[in-house]
Amino acid sequence: MQPPPADLDIAVADVDRLLATQHPALRGPLTRVAHGWDNDVFRLGDDLAVRLPRRELAAHLIENEQRWLPELAPRLAVPIPVPVALGVPDEHFPWHWSVVPWFPGRRGLDLAPHERDAVAVELAGVLRALHVPAPTTAPVNPFRGVPMRQRDDVIRERLAIAPELLPVWEAGLAASEWRGPDVWLHGDMHAGNVIFDGDRIGALIDFGDMCSGDPASDLSVAWLAFTATGRTAFRAALADLYDESDWTRARGWAAALALISVDSDDPGFRAVARHARTQLTA
């Protein structure tokens, strides 16, 4: 799937103007580094980045990050992009935006799956710390953390291009639903949102889809990111929390999420889609 069209085209000059009027002390060289599904990201100097919504439908996600990341960060053993400065709408830019830390390192997308296996246990520990009961005021996401049956019609249509994955999705549907409390979820847990510092996790980024609900959609990273070796280690590190039904749902979610990036303009995302399809049908 291709990213939806932007409601606003954001240029370096636009970002510089926002900084100049709201956070002049932070102004510095700007370079666009990401044109994502919901947000554009501009690197600011050596140590910061500016994250701005590119479409109205997703603009509130920045506000979720601004509200909740400061509370989640102390629980996690890896850095996350807690905003260092908050931007507000003005007469030229209608949405909230953030200045966040810039995390050096390599995207997990740009590593081979066997290289990503090195952080399988570490990532399991991060999710263990994250997947705790969320307050009733936590964000709700209609695309993640919900019962799989709520997404069945859309996912079945999407799976028409990969019918070999339909039994994986249907097995997830048939598994017992999550019986625990709604827990905090990253919401977009794939290799592209893990920054590597050598063979460790340097940061976990892009919490725009964070929400509460069934952890199975986060656990799908076991197939999206790792080989069988890494997946075994990842599952073993969480064996006391999740049962076979949870992992069956997670595998179903992986089948659905793999196809989002199958025709991406980013070769790293296309590689992840191919990898996941191989893992799910092995």
Residue 1 confidence class, pLDDT cut points 50, 70, 90: low
- Select from 101, 121, 137 the last residue of a domain: 101
Smallest Cα–Cα separation from 260: which of 61, 97, 38? 38
Task: Please report whether residue 2 resides in a domain.
Answer: no
Token reading at 214: 């069934």
First to last CA, the chain: 24
Q: Report the CATH number that the domain containing residue 127 is assigned in CATH.
A: 3.90.1200.10
CA-based angle 212:132:191, to the nearest 5? 70
Task: Please report whether residue 1 resides in a domain.
Answer: no
CA-based angle 93:265:187, to the nearest 5? 65
- The count of structural domains within the chain is 2
Q: Are 256 and 223 in contact (CB under 8 A)?
A: no
Q: Are 140 and 212 in contact (CB under 8 A)?
A: yes
Q: Are 247 and 215 in contact (CB under 8 A)?
A: no
Assess whether 61 and 177 both reside in one domain: no
Span 171-189, average pLDDT: 97
Q: Please name the helix (run of DSSP H) or strand (run of DSSP E) that holds residue 96, with its range, or none.
A: none
Span 159-163, average pLDDT: 95
196-220 tens-digit pLDDT: 999 999 999 999 999 999 999 999 9
pLDDT of residue 264: 82
Helix (H, G, I), strand (E, B) or coil at 105: coil
44-70 tens-digit pLDDT: 999 999 999 999 988 999 999 999 999
Assess whether 27 and 161 both reside in one domain: no
Assess whether 151 and 270 both reside in one domain: yes
